[in-house]
Chain A
Amino acid sequence: MSASTIVPLRDVRLSMTEAVALVEPGHTLGLGGTLLYRRPVAFVYELLRQAAPPADLTLLSFTAGYASDLLVGAGNISRIQTCYFGLEVFGLAPMFTHRVNRGEVQVIEETEASLALGIRATLSGVGFIPSQAWIGTDMFQLRPDVRTVVDPYSGEELVAFPPVTCDVAVIHALVADRRGNARLNKNLGIDPELAAISRQTIITAEEVVETLTEDVHIPAVLVSGVVHAPRGAWPTSCYPHYPIDGEEVLRYIDACASEQFAEYVCQVAACAQ
């Protein structure tokens, strides 16, 4: 008998409680999906259900929406790294707007290019990626840490986008296998690259199967844990399984407008009280 037949297949399945314990105070937490699409909402609910959720987090989200707003409202986020924070056609993200207006959280002002190229810098292992973006705008006043370089060939001044890094990324998948391979839908956002730049990546999945053999967007080698989370993106969408629950998004907005944020969170996250 060869040795390989007795080595068990890797199994990285976790409970949601085990998964949220991977997030430590001060971490950069990356949320997969975009806007109101395929966000890891069940993970965020579980995080908020903890007696003492990790604080002083940096939230990294290409575009931030409902799930991010819950974390910001709950006070766990000190810094927000995004290029858009809102509820799309539903309007402003209430707790983000409220807390930033009061100076309670810091925004690390990003754009599509600074995030995409900052991710590329990390993936390439270089200190920056140059771009024509931002030159002539006020972005450098909002991000004094971002510098420019001179193109050695043309002499043109270019922005030098610094690397974007992440400690724990959480990505909701349509299906994952127990080794960590995950399949998304076509609305990828930055998820394949986010998994690659993060020190740890957690997959929450509508379905967990024995083995995936095709159409894998995130290979197991990048994945630390898989959590079975049916309807785990609700009330954001998980195409083609379910659309956005617009009524729930409006219920959230109304709760915030009547200063019932804490009550809303307790209800959806089913807190112990």
Chain B
Amino acid sequence: MSDLASIDYTVDELMAVCVARQVQDGDMLVHGLATPLVAAGYMLAFRTHAPNVTFASAVGQGVVQDWAPLSITRTEEYWLGKAMANASFVVTVADVLHSFAPKEFFRPAQLDPYGNSNNIAIGKDYARPRLRLPGAGGIPDVSVFSEKMYMYVPRHSRAVFVPQLDWLSGMGHHPARKRGSGPRYLVSDLGQFDWANGSMRVVSCHADVPLRRIQAKTGFELEIAPDLGETPLPSAEEIRLLREEIDPLGVRRLETLAGTARRTLLREILARERSL
């Protein structure tokens, strides 16, 4: 009766589905910068079980209660065209962010066992880092009070999951915390995780990913949930929605790629987008 076993899906689709399943109907959800995998998951949630979510975006600082297919060059048609209200970034940050208490998925460049994160630079020499990162945006502001921090890591590796951060720009389950909570949840291309005991814990492994592989690609000892299982598979309808309606251009896949492969995919998407 079920064709679950035969569903063909890719890991970016599985991660988008995992994001969608963390969304509850009625949530206020922030879209960060350059996070199309999360956007795909949010839109999927809107189209399946959460029609009453409100989206807020770093693009246009607007609130939207509608969905649109993912795009690269035309995101403003959605964020400005469908926004019910917009504000300047100063007003958004200073006046409304606290009261909205949104849920947001962050992508850390480095993450330690306690869910503290770094998006500043790789390397301890701040004046001459090994790799300067774009910057922490609003993470040092929001992470100290948020109750609803979620994380995603499209390429699980020891470069991301480190025992010690070079710089702490996002506060996790940290002794200095006065309000809010460290991250609740993380999905990577290998599994799902939480911080039920304050230290990162594997909750489920994606299909065909052995636990020892996850541990080998993590730079610290993971806790293991007593009921560790396999990540539930996407449904045929979830995959259909992602591929045919929410993200037919495949923008979400950019997050799983780097270097030349990424630039090649970007060119393909741009060519398809221009012909729309």
Chain A residues close to B by CB (< 8 Å): 34-35, 37, 62-63, 82-86, 88-93, 96-97, 100-103, 106-107, 109-117, 119-120, 131-139, 141-142, 156, 185-193, 237, 239-240, 243-247, 250, 253-254
The A interface is mostly helix, strand or loop, or mixed, namely mixed
Note all chain B residues with C-beta closer than 8 A to A82. 135
Assess whether A250 is in contact with B266, with CB atoms less than 8 Å apart: yes
Contacts of B228 in A (CB 8 A): none
Q: Contact between B131 and A132 (Cβ–Cβ < 8 Å)?
A: no
Does B76 lie within 8 Å of A37, measured CB to CB?
yes
- DSSP majority for the B interface? loop
What would 27 A/B residue contacts be, using CB atoms closer than 8 Å? A35-B33, A63-B33, A82-B135, A83-B135, A88-B33, A88-B34, A89-B266, A90-B266, A111-B138, A113-B138, A113-B140, A113-B141, A114-B141, A115-B93, A116-B89, A116-B92, A116-B93, A134-B140, A137-B144, A139-B136, A141-B167, A185-B76, A187-B60, A188-B87, A192-B88, A243-B76, A244-B74
Give the number of residues in B that approach A within 8 Å (Cβ atoms).
64
Name B88-127 residues within 8 Å CB distance of A. Answer: 88-90, 92-94, 120-121, 126-127
Q: How far is the CA of A191 from the CA of B89 in the complex (A)?
A: 9
The 4 closest A-B pairs by CB, nearest first: A86-B134, A136-B176, A112-B138, A113-B141
Residues of A within 8 A of B121 (CB): 100
- Knowing that A186-B60, A187-B61 are A-B contacts, what are 6 other residue pairs whose CB atoms are under 8 Å apart, sorted by A's residue number? A35-B33, A84-B135, A96-B132, A133-B144, A136-B176, A192-B88
A192 and B267 alpha carbons, distance in the complex (Å): 35
- Nearest residue, chain A, Cβ from B94: A116
Residue numbers in A under 8 Å from B174 (CB-CB): 136
| Residues in B lying within 8 Å of A, measured CB to CB | 33-34, 36, 58-62, 72-74, 76-77, 79-81, 83, 86-90, 92-94, 120-121, 126-141, 143-145, 167-171, 174, 176-179, 251, 254, 262-263, 266-267, 270, 273
CB distance from A154 to the nearest CB of B (A): 11
A100 touches B129 (CB 8 A): yes
**Are B270 and A250 in touch, CB under 8 angstroms?**
yes
List of A residues within 8 angstroms of B267 by Cβ: 247, 250
Cβ of B270 and Cβ of A247 under 8 Å apart?
yes
Supposing A120-B94, A132-B145, A134-B144 touch, asked if A97 and B60 sit within 8 A by C-beta, the answer is: no
B125 smallest CB distance to A (angstroms): 8
